[in-house]
Structures are given as structure tokens and as C-alpha cells.
Amino acid sequence: MKKLLGPIAVIVGIIVVLALILVPSYNKFVTSEENVDQAYSQIETQLQRRVDLIPNLVNTVKGFAKQEKEVIGQVTEARSKLAGANGPEEQAAADSELSGALSRLLVVVENYPELKSNENFRQLMDELAGTENRLAVARKDYNGEVASYNKQVKRFPGKLVASIFGFDEKEYFKAEAGADKAPEVDFEADE
């Protein structure tokens, strides 16, 4: 009996040591993954706020710029795409398209000085600008959480724990190709 007690104690010791290593590492992955999900939900919240503000902005502009229906239509269409987008990649593409449409809308606004002085329009623009700022911060925070999480997944011993428990790298929120260039708007072009 005493001969069996030694190997059993060694096995129990190994199990305890493994548990002491794996459990905190696993919990760190769970916490980190939740941080990523929470940061992503902040992006979705700000995207939804933007989607909610745009109809009011478009309706205000419509009253002043009835002949600019194409630009207003583009904003409305881009808003719908963003509202229906799922996941970072689709949302980044829809977000980029909406940003371009909003830029064209702002060019339209420049042609209507009385619109810029309208109190409702100014309030909506302020809210939209605030939303854009919060959205930029939310994207930055999300990508920071993803970077931290992905480092855990790639580093040792986290790589072992991640592979054992199925923790995979997360996707960054990226701008679409061409997002680094300002959209070109030309109202003088022939149709």
C-alpha cells in the first residue's frame, strides 16, 4: 500500500500544479474575450446612434435641398446597409460607405447657408459630430482590446491554453480600402 501512495501523491501533485497554471490562464482568456465583446458592443451602440440620427438630418436637409435627391438617397441607402451589417468586416465596409455619403451631404449643405444657420440642423450636426468622435474612440478601444487578447492567444503559455480551450484570434475593426482618401464630389459634372 505504501508503494502506491508515492505515485498517487505525485500524480495528484501534477494535477494540482496543472490546475494552478491552467485555471488562472483560462479565466484571463475569458475576461479578455469579454472585454473584446464589450468594446465591440460600444462600436455597435455608436453605429446605431449614428443610424438613428441620420433620418432626422436627412429630413432637415430635404426641406432645404430638394434638388439634391441623389446625395440624400445615397445617405439613406448607406444608412440602411450599416443598419443591416453584421460583424466587424461588414460593418467597417458599410461604415466607410456611410462616411463617404455623409461627406457628400456636407458638401450639399455648404451650398445652402440658410440651412447651416437652422437651429435643428446645427443641433443634429453637433450630435452627429459627437457620435463620430465617440465612434472613433470606440473603434480605438475595441482594437486595443483585440490587440491585448490576440497577444495572449499568441504568447506562451497562453498559446497552449488557447488551443486547448478553443480561444481564437479576434478580428480588428479596419477601414475599407480607399478610406484614407477624401471622397470627390462634383456637382458641376455633366449627367
What domains does the chain contain, in order, with CATH numbers? 36-165 (1.20.1440.20)
- What's the pLDDT score for residue 22? 83
The pLDDT of residue 83: 86
Specify whether the CB–CB gap between 35 and 148 falls below 8 A: yes
Q: What is the model's pLDDT at position 82?
A: 87
Phi-psi region of 176 (alpha: psi -120 to 50; beta: other; left: phi over 0): beta
Question: String of b and e for 80-117 (b: at least 16 CB within 10 Å)?
Answer: ebbeebeebeebbbbbbbbbbbbebbeebbeebeebee
For the question of whether the overall pTM of this predicted structure is more than 0.85, the answer is: no
Please enumerate in sequence order all residues whose Cβ is within 8 A of that of 93, keeping only pairs 6 or more positions apart, or say none.
85, 176
Q: What is the pLDDT along the chain (191 residues), one digit of tens a residue?
A: 677 888 888 898 999 988 888 888 899 999 999 999 999 999 888 888 888 888 877 777 776 666 567 777 888 888 888 888 888 888 888 888 888 888 878 777 776 666 666 677 778 788 888 888 898 899 999 999 999 999 999 998 889 889 999 999 999 888 766 665 655 544 454 44
